[in-house]
Amino acid sequence: MGGRFLSIGECMVELSQADDGHLRKGFAGDTFNTAWYARACLPKDWAIDYFTALGDDAMSDEMIAFMGSAGIGTQSIRRLRGKTPGLYMINLKDGERSFSYWRDSSAARQLATDGDALRAAIEASDVLYFSGITLAILSREDAFTLLAELRRAKAAGKLVAFDPNLRPRLWSSLDAMHTMIAEGARAATLVMPSFDDEAAHFSDDSIAATIRRYRQYGAVMVIVKNGPDGATIGDGVQGTLVPAVKVVKVIDTTSAGDSFNGAFLAHYLQHKNAVTAAGFAAKIAARVIQEYGALVSPEKLKSIR
Ligand code: ADP
């Protein structure tokens, strides 16, 4: 029996360098990437929808068409007059990647200005997904509008999943980031942090400390991703480590965490077993990091069980 999965956040235009020096255009963003992998891993009786705000320009039209062709529902996306999508560019220098962003005035920053539209989309869904980046791009007032709706969904028994995806540069201060990430976890049933980020920005000295902290904020289950060292599931006193899959040649780790989250949720929603879901997610993420780019085609993931 399927349901409706709604991912909330910002998808951007992505420019990357092709081998001939030309720029290649794509579309990506943490919460969109997770929706992409959830779509690739869930059967057709599940609807995967994306909630954001876009502009009324040709690039917004193209992004919506791209999402639609990927099987991701766009019916609740808000269109704002005179606005445009955010943009980022991947720079490659001596094999090292760096990113430049143009997202300060993107349409997605206003995704929660219409509280009624947000409520309608959330009420129509069974599973909600958002990230610390979703919260970071919103005004404080809009972030609280979104959080209130997510808390309602959680109270109604829906699965609300949250990846803190800590990006200090998107926040006005570390204090603001700490406060809002805690609010995000309070609104969530399942929190999916990456240990590297948590250790760096919350000074956690162990995975157990990360699990403890997010459970104190109000999360029911915490899954801490830790790169090649696997992922730890904490849903009580004890943590269960699920190993990563060995990858001999890592090509591009973009989207490792996003694909893990999408695959984990897809498996968990069908089988309700966090340990086997994390095992499946590790296989998907291991495949994703052996390709360039955030979005690996569903065909390449099909045989993974
Ligand atoms: P993020 O991309 O959010 O920083 P991680 O680096 O922790 O997240 O990676 C997420 C998941 O991707 C890990 O739990 C693991 O399953 C997989 N993964 C990441 N890096 C590797 C690697 N070098 N080898 C194998 N699996 C990896």
- pLDDT at 69 exceeding the cut of 90: yes
Q: What letter represents residue 189's amino acid?
A: T
At residue 209, the pLDDT reads 96
Question: Mutate which of 207, 253, 265, 276 to test ligand 1's pocket (most atoms within 8 Å of Cβ)?
Answer: 253
CB of 227 sitting under 6 A from ligand 1: yes
d(CA 264, CA 256): 12
At residue 91, the pLDDT reads 86
At residue 152, the pLDDT reads 98
Q: How far is CA 78 from CA 69, 74, 75, 116, in A?
A: 18, 9, 8, 12
Residue whose CA is at the smallest distance from ligand 1 atom 24: 228
CB of 231 sitting under 6 A from ligand 1: yes
d(CA 26, CA 291): 15
CB of 270 sitting under 6 A from ligand 1: no
The token pair that represents 26 in the structure block: 């794509």
| Percent of the chain with pLDDT strictly greater than 70 | 100
- Region 9-36: what's the mean pLDDT? 94
What is the whole-number distance in angstroms between the Cα of residue 161 and the centre of ligand 1? 18
- Region 243-259: what's the mean pLDDT? 95
- pLDDT at 259 exceeding the cut of 80: yes
At residue 18 the predicted structure's pLDDT band, cuts being 50, 70 and 90, is confident
Residue whose CA is at the smallest distance from ligand 1 atom 19: 227
CB of 194 sitting under 6 A from ligand 1: yes
DSSP string, 148-166: HHHHHHHHTT-EEEEE---
- pLDDT at 282 exceeding the cut of 90: yes
- Region 110-134: what's the mean pLDDT? 98
- pLDDT at 86 exceeding the cut of 80: yes
Q: Which of 87-96, 170-179, 236-245 has the largest mean confidence?
A: 170-179
Active site residue 196: no
Tens digits of residue pLDDT in 49-67: 999 999 999 999 999 999 9
- pLDDT at 95 exceeding the cut of 80: no
What is the whole-number distance in angstroms between the Cα of residue 259 and the centre of ligand 1? 9
d(CA 6, CA 34): 10
d(CA 241, CA 278): 9
What is the whole-number distance in angstroms between the Cα of residue 244 and the centre of ligand 1? 7
What is the whole-number distance in angstroms between the Cα of residue 224 and the centre of ligand 1? 10
CB of 232 sitting under 6 A from ligand 1: no
At residue 144, the pLDDT reads 98
At residue 291 the predicted structure's pLDDT band, cuts being 50, 70 and 90, is very high
CB of 228 sitting under 6 A from ligand 1: yes
Question: Mutate which of 225, 258, 301 to test ligand 1's pocket (most atoms within 8 Å of Cβ)?
Answer: 225
Q: Which of 37-41, 92-96, 142-146, 292-296 has the lowest mean pLDDT?
A: 92-96
| Dihedral over alpha carbons 291, 292, 297, 300 (to 10 degrees) | -10
Tens digits of residue pLDDT in 126-184: 999 999 999 999 999 999 999 999 999 999 999 999 999 999 999 999 999 999 999 99
The per-residue pLDDT of the chain, averaged, comes to 96
With a cut of 0.95, is the ipTM above it?
A: yes
What is the whole-number distance in angstroms between the Cα of residue 217 and the centre of ligand 1? 25
At residue 17 the predicted structure's pLDDT band, cuts being 50, 70 and 90, is confident
d(CA 104, CA 238): 41
Contacts of 305 (CB under 8 A, 6+ apart): 280, 283
- pLDDT at 20 exceeding the cut of 90: no
- pLDDT at 112 exceeding the cut of 80: yes
At residue 233 the predicted structure's pLDDT band, cuts being 50, 70 and 90, is very high
DSSP string, the chain: ---EEEEES--EEEEEE-TTS-EEEEEE-HHHHHHHHHHHHS-TTSEEEEE-EE-SSHHHHHHHHHHHHTTEE-TT-EE-TT----EEEEEEETTEEEEEEE-TT-GGGGTTS-HHHHHHHHHT-SEEEEEHHHHHTS-HHHHHHHHHHHHHHHHTT-EEEEE----GGGSS-HHHHHHHHHHHHHT-SEE--BHHHHHHHH--SSHHHHHHHHHHHT-SEEEEE-GGG-EEEESSSSEEEEPPPP-SS----TTHHHHHHHHHHHHHHHH--HHHHHHHHHHHHHHHTTSSSS---HHHHTT--
Ramachandran region, residue 120 (left: φ > 0; alpha: ψ -120 to 50; beta: rest):
alpha
At residue 97, the pLDDT reads 81
What is the whole-number distance in angstroms between the Cα of residue 297 and the centre of ligand 1? 18
At residue 92, the pLDDT reads 78
At residue 1, the pLDDT reads 82
CB of 224 sitting under 6 A from ligand 1: no
